[in-house]
Amino acid sequence: MRRILKRHPIPHHVWQGVTRRVVVLKELDAVQMAHLREMTTWFLDQKSITGAQGLEVTPSMKVAVAAQACLLILNLGVELFDGWVEVILYPGAFRVNHAQMDVIGLVHDEASILTGESWLRGPVILSWDDVERDTYHYQAGHNVVLHEFAHKLDGLNGVTNGMPPLHRGMSRKRWAEALSEAYDALCLQVAAGEAAFINPYAATSPAEFFAVLSEYYFTAPDILKNCCPSVHRQLTLFYRQVSSR
């Protein structure tokens, strides 16, 4: 890590110019920001961040993505982002085709328009329009960088299912109970057409639920604490944050 910090330091004006405006970093103190800078430097040394469809990726754009990604692992360790090497930025939302099998076994290509995608052992793909909006303009429960990199943590067990590898001392039973109860309640609200207590996209699957919960934990912790206190407690343990968040 020391060699990386010396070899590829982030210029002070770039770091300050970006991080002082990043909404989700406002609550970090000076010590945490210094640690985040070290982790961001490591990230930029180990991962390539490239543009698609002619998008020119500037050093400031790279720092904006890397710093927010590293916020998730600030108290966990850089090794949790091992095993893949690339972030791809599209100018805006992008189209993907996925093969889907119907009930009689026929396979169809289905197109989706996405703002982000995280491959289990491959790249993280992001819409820069959405990254820029979430980075510099507060929206409770919305941060595409946190969302997609939370999928990376979830997938460390080899599958994204809302059950990332838990730390020693954490209870799988308590985790499963807390998240399953909240997930089931959200699904019932969405099915009934009621106003959901968090982004209804979280009802898509347990994996999306965990990713959306992570967005709320860092961007709107009070909302999460009020609606799902037991979930908030589990995420505090998982992200190893101080309980006051």
Q: What pLDDT does 99 receive?
A: 55
- Max CA distance (Å), the chain: 59
Q: Determine the Cα–Cα distance for residues 43 and 35; give it in Å rounded to an integer.
A: 12
Q: Determine the Cα–Cα distance for residues 85 and 48; give it in Å rounded to an integer.
A: 6
Identify the CATH class of 1-239: mainly alpha
Q: Which two tokens stand for residue 55?
A: 């998008």
Q: What is the CA radius of gyration of the chain?
A: 18
Element (H, E) at 110: strand 107-114
Element (H, E) at 145: helix 144-154
Q: Which residues contact 239 (CB under 8 A, 6 or more apart)?
A: 72, 75, 76, 214, 217
Rounded alpha-carbon distances, angstroms, from residue 75 to 3, 56, 158, 241: 21, 32, 22, 7
Q: What pLDDT does 92 receive?
A: 87
Q: What pLDDT does 101 receive?
A: 52
Q: What pLDDT does 109 receive?
A: 61
Q: Determine the Cα–Cα distance for residues 65 and 72; give it in Å rounded to an integer.
A: 12
DSSP state of 221: H
Backbone angles phi, psi at 49, to 5 degrees: -120, 110
pLDDT, tens only, 78-128: 999 999 999 999 998 877 766 555 556 665 466 677 788 998 889 999 999
Q: Determine the Cα–Cα distance for residues 155 and 165; give it in Å rounded to an integer.
A: 9
Backbone angles phi, psi at 159, to 5 degrees: -155, 145
Q: What pLDDT does 127 receive?
A: 97
**67 within 8 A of 23, measured Cβ to Cβ:** no
β-sheet with 86-90: strand ranges across:
48-51, 86-90, 124-127, 116-118
**72 within 8 A of 39, measured Cβ to Cβ:** no
Q: What pLDDT does 115 receive?
A: 81
* Residue 19: strand pairing partners: none
Q: What pLDDT does 61 receive?
A: 98
The residues of the chain scoring below 70 in pLDDT are 1-2, 4-6, 97-111, 243-245
Element (H, E) at 66: helix 59-72
Backbone angles phi, psi at 229, to 5 degrees: -60, -35
112 burial via Cβ count (<10 Å: 0-12, 13-18, 19+) = exposed
